[in-house]
Amino acid sequence: MLEIKDFGLAFAQQHFLSKLNMSVAGGEIVTIMGPSGCGKSSFLAAIAGTLNEGFTCSGEVSLAGKSLLNMPQAQRQVGMLFQDDLLFPHFNVAQNLQYGLAHAKQGQAAQLIEQALADAGMPGYQQRDIASLSGGQRARVSVLRSLLAEPKLLLLDEPFSKLDKPLRKQFREFVRDKIEELSIPALLVTHDAEDSLQAPPISIF
């Protein structure tokens, strides 16, 4: 469960959020909508622990009962998906996925990667170069890498915006199914209402 209480976000004298209260249960995906430049990405960064210098936040953010705002970023167990897949082009598929499996032993990691790719409709893709993948395949590998790290929370920063319409629908369904399967809370920010993965989007900006 992600719980946000009286949360505020500001940069210098500009206030983006004030007294925000929200809870997100495991398997639930809350979509937050707002125009470009309104502070959506900074809101996610504050939760992830990657907020840029100059921003300040207040209130409480807790995950599974543990306060996040003063916790080091590496300890928060938060996964993130962005507009760009951020895969390592010089690594093959398995090596990219291995990056999310630092906690696993070598033999176990290979099994987890094999199963994850099979579940994603990409069996046997371990040795494929990233450059040889389609846009949809790259997007799926990016999701798998985030989820193999076993995050307790997934944050999505407009990850569908650069995909064409047919692929966008397919990828939205893949991400939604994975979040529900793992029963982790998720926050998605977007400027497009069609990107909502469960309930209709809400506007807090």
Closest residue by Cα to residue 139 from 169, 160, 166: 160
pLDDT in tens, 43-101: 999 999 999 888 999 999 999 999 999 899 989 999 998 888 889 999 999 999 998 78
8 A C-beta contact, residue 48 and residue 63: no
Indicate whether 135 and 183 sit together in one domain.
no
For residue 58, the model assigns a pLDDT of 93
Indicate whether 137 and 178 sit together in one domain.
no
184 — pLDDT class (breaks 50, 70, 90): very high
For residue 149, the model assigns a pLDDT of 87
Which pTM value belongs to this model? Answer: 0.87
Given a cut of 90, whether residue 35 has pLDDT beyond it is: no
pLDDT averaged over every residue in the chain: 88
Q: How far apart are CA 118 and CA 162, in angstroms?
A: 25
The mean pLDDT of 163-178, rounded to a whole number, is 84
Total of domains in the chain? 2
CATH number where 35 lies:
3.40.50.300
Indicate whether 72 and 2 sit together in one domain.
yes
For residue 158, the model assigns a pLDDT of 86
For residue 156, the model assigns a pLDDT of 92
8 A C-beta contact, residue 8 and residue 59: yes
Domain finish residue from 111, 134, 150: 150
For residue 108, the model assigns a pLDDT of 86
In a domain, 5, yes or no: yes
Indicate whether 2 and 68 sit together in one domain.
yes
In a domain, 83, yes or no: no
Range of the domain at 105: 90-150
In a domain, 85, yes or no: no
